[in-house]
Structure 1
Amino acid sequence: MQTGQLEKSGSLRKRTLSRGMSEDESLRHIIREAEESSRHLSRSDSRYGSLKRGQTRESLSEDDVLSENIELEELRALALQQEALLFQVDCLQDALEGTEEMLAEAQRETQRSNTELERERAVRRRLELELISLQQELERLREERSAEQLQKPSTPVWLQAAPQGSSVDRDEPLNSSRSVVDGDPDNEESSGYEDAPSEFTATPDRDPLDTEEDPENTPSSGPNPGDSCALC
């Protein structure tokens, strides 16, 4: 715009000078005006360049500030991320330590269980051996008993069926049976167990008082030699 205004002013001056002056003076005046216009143009160009450089510097400084701010924000974000990662690492380390402790406790418990299992197995083996030995001993006793029963002589049926008791109890049915066979009434009360009921003794016909008054008729309570012979 300034160059256009200078050209317009220069053209007006040319017209005025061309009218009142000669050609040489007009040429010198034109040359002088051209030089002045060139100086004005150079000055304006220098001013424009300086302004442009200042603007570029300002823009560069603003860009630098923005870039620095962006870098600072990125650094802060990275620092926060690093702190979060370190916290996660600490948490994972604590969890790992707890897991290792639990694993060690489980291993100790497993070892104790294995030891207890081995002890129970040893006890079981010992009991099995004792059971086998007891079974063998029982089998041996059964064999010995069966062998004794085979070697034992046969006895009369009435002796096998006799009830268990004292020698007097065993001799009583023998004496009563002999008295019945011989027909001796005195032997019916000779055993000393008149009051005891027995299926082999007969009911006495005499009065007990007569028996007490007549001691001569009461037989002695000693062993009868015939009984021993009968047992033989």
Structure 2
Amino acid sequence: MHIELNDLSKRFGSTTALDHVNLNVPPSSIIAVLGENGAGKSTLLSLLAGVLAPDAGLIRFDGQPYSRERLDLRKRLLYTPDVPLMFTDRSIAANIATFASLYGKRVEDHEADLTQQLEETGIAALLNRSAGSLSRGQLWKAFMACAATVEPELWLVDEPFASGMDVIGMGVFRRLARKLADAGSTLFYTTQMVDLAAGFSDHVCVLRQGKIVLWETSARVLEMIHATPEGQENVLRGLR
């Protein structure tokens, strides 16, 4: 999915969350969205997901104007807020089957990969437990099985590295994200950890006070980090 943002703006009362944001994102990309608290990171993902509507500007998916009403385009994306949205009264297995049905996918087509992923994360033994009984880290691990089944063309993930998952779970997330990107999907994820973002992304987008102050390749951001002792702070400020 090719994503374009043209003069995208969003306000909440007197607060400007996003201020004339422009971005052109090619397919097969992992985008780390960095920023301080209140920079507009979650707002950007919510607009892309259709959870919020922009006050001004335009989003295009593959050249088509996108809005909350475009269900055909929304079915091509998967949105994961900081606490994944699952059916809490249903088992993990039922959730996987429900997500597959909603997106017109077959669980059977992913059986081998899902079995390996569920065993790696320790979730295989919990398949019959309700999603509502899981810890936050377990919930994330369970949701990754849903994401692997859906195979979204656009995956929007809010603060995955602050999810409470253990190292094994985070390793599975990285491999799943890269697998999807290599197959043509695009992933946006938000974080405040500069070094982590530079080490796991193709491009880094830095928001500050609702504006994009930096858009660089991860390789260039790594150079900036190591250029001076204040390298990480300079990246968040958009100082090259």
Where is the helix percentage greater, Structure 1 or Structure 2?
1
Scaled to the shorter chain, the TM-score interval is under 0.3
> What TM-score do you get using the length of structure 2 for normalisation?
0.16
TM-score, structure 1 as length reference: 0.16
Whose relative contact order is higher, 1 or 2, with alpha carbons under 8 Å and at least 6 apart? 2
